[in-house]
């Protein structure tokens, strides 16, 4: 005959509730972290597009200033490099 030697510790309902709450909060935290990651990705893509468009606009403005003679020829060479 085999003896059963496993002891099952008692956990109050409060401890069980706390463990359950921790699991729920962990899931909520993971969801928030995912949303933050999506936000950062969107922000990065926006910044990239913004810089691309702003860079093109700055080049166009500078070319127009050169064309209108508002910028000297030496500074035009340094600005385009």
DSSP 29-72: HHHHHHHHHHHHHHHHHHHHHHHHHHHHHHHHHHHHHHHTT-S-
What are the sequence ranges of the domains in the chain?
35-81
- How far is 27 from 56, CA to CA, in rounded Å? 44
Q: List pLDDT tens digits, range 10-60.
A: 889 999 999 999 999 999 999 999 999 999 999 999 999 988 888 888 888
How far from chain centre, in Å, is Cα 51?
A: 17
pTM attached to this predicted model: 0.55
First to last CA, the chain: 90
pLDDT at 21: 98
Q: Would you call 11 helix, strand, or coil by DSSP?
A: coil
């Amino acid at each position: 005959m085999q003896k059963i030697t496993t002891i099952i510790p008692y956990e109050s309902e409060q401890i069980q509730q706390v463990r359950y709450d921790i699991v729920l909060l962990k899931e909520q935290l993971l969801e928030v972290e995912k949303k933050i990651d999506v936000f950062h990705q969107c922000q990065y893509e926006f910044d990239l597009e913004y810089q691309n468009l702003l860079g093109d606009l700055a080049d166009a403005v500078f070319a127009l200033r050169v064309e209108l003679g508002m910028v000297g020829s030496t500074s035009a060479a340094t600005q385009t490099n």
